[in-house]
Amino acid sequence: MAKTEVILTHHIVGLGGESDHVKVAAGYARNYLFPQGLAIPLTGANKRRLEVLKQRRGERESHELNAMTELAKSLSKLVCVLAVKTGEDGKMFGTITPGMIADQLKTQFEATIDKRKIHLEQPIRTLGEHEVELRLHADVVTTLKVRVESTTPLAAPAVAPPPEPKKEEQKTEKRGRRPEVSPPQKAETGDKPREPRPERKAPRPDRGPRPDQGPRAEKHGKAPKAEKPQKGE
């Protein structure tokens, strides 16, 4: 394929900047660069325009440096939130890519950044906050906070039922009445409970001797002897 040398009049990403001499395909130069005014053929007459192109390039680069510096200050204070799907265990499906971060910056903050300027040292595979390096310019490097959140609701942990209160502690109270106190329980032993004692009968009243009976002699005693009459009576 035939090549031709041209002078760029505008900055073209991946090709060069103003006043650069580059070799491109003849068809690419003839059908695209020349009609769009992005380059001019390398001739003696066109070489005289190099000084003007270099001055234009210096102004553009100075403007880009100022713009990227201000953008870096703004992005360093922001937190870019990305919502992803996860499993029940909280693990992500897939990874976070520079393209996803660039899309969210455009959506959330209307900041247009080339995804090639977003540098990830290693793929983001976990939830939480991460710091991502942004290489906005050759002389401007900053960091962006990226927070990855899950859109999958986590299962609520099972709650154990409260322990049942002991029977001794269960006391019912009614409004306006004192709580009923249950009688103390006897300690459980191996002996059988004692039976209640029978009630004693009251003693009968003393009726005295019957009329047909005289006074009984003293038990185990003898009847007193009759006194002898004394003399002179």
Chain segment 67-80, per-residue pLDDT in tens: 999 999 999 999 99
In this predicted structure, what is the pLDDT of residue 33?
A: 93
Task: Locate the domains of the chain by residue range.
Answer: 3-48, 72-150
Return the bridge partners of 80, or none: 146
Q: Which CATH class is domain 3-48?
A: alpha beta
Predicted TM-score (pTM) of the model is 0.53
In this predicted structure, what is the pLDDT of residue 105?
A: 93
In this predicted structure, what is the pLDDT of residue 218?
A: 47
In CATH, which of 3.50.50.60, 3.40.50.10140, 3.10.430.100, 3.90.1720.10 is domain 72-150? 3.10.430.100
| CA pair distance 111, 113, nearest whole angstrom | 6
With contact defined as beta carbons under 8 Å apart, do 60 and 18 qualify? yes
In this predicted structure, what is the pLDDT of residue 85?
A: 87
pLDDT 10s digits, 196-228: 666 665 556 555 555 555 545 444 445 555 555
Return the bridge partners of 150, or none: 84
In this predicted structure, what is the pLDDT of residue 194?
A: 63
List, in order, residues 6 or more apart from 181 with CB less than 8 Å away. Answer: 171
> Tokens for 102?
């660039």
Between the alpha carbon of residue 200 and those of residues 194, 197, 205, 206, the distances in Å are 18, 9, 15, 18
**The 21-25 sheet, strands edge to edge:** 21-25, 3-8, 39-41
Q: Which residues of the chain have pLDDT under 50?
A: 174, 187, 189, 215, 217-221, 232-233
In this predicted structure, what is the pLDDT of residue 35?
A: 92
Q: Do domains 3-48 and 72-150 have the same CATH topology?
A: no
Q: Coil, strand, or helix at residue 203?
A: coil
| CA pair distance 151, 100, nearest whole angstrom | 16
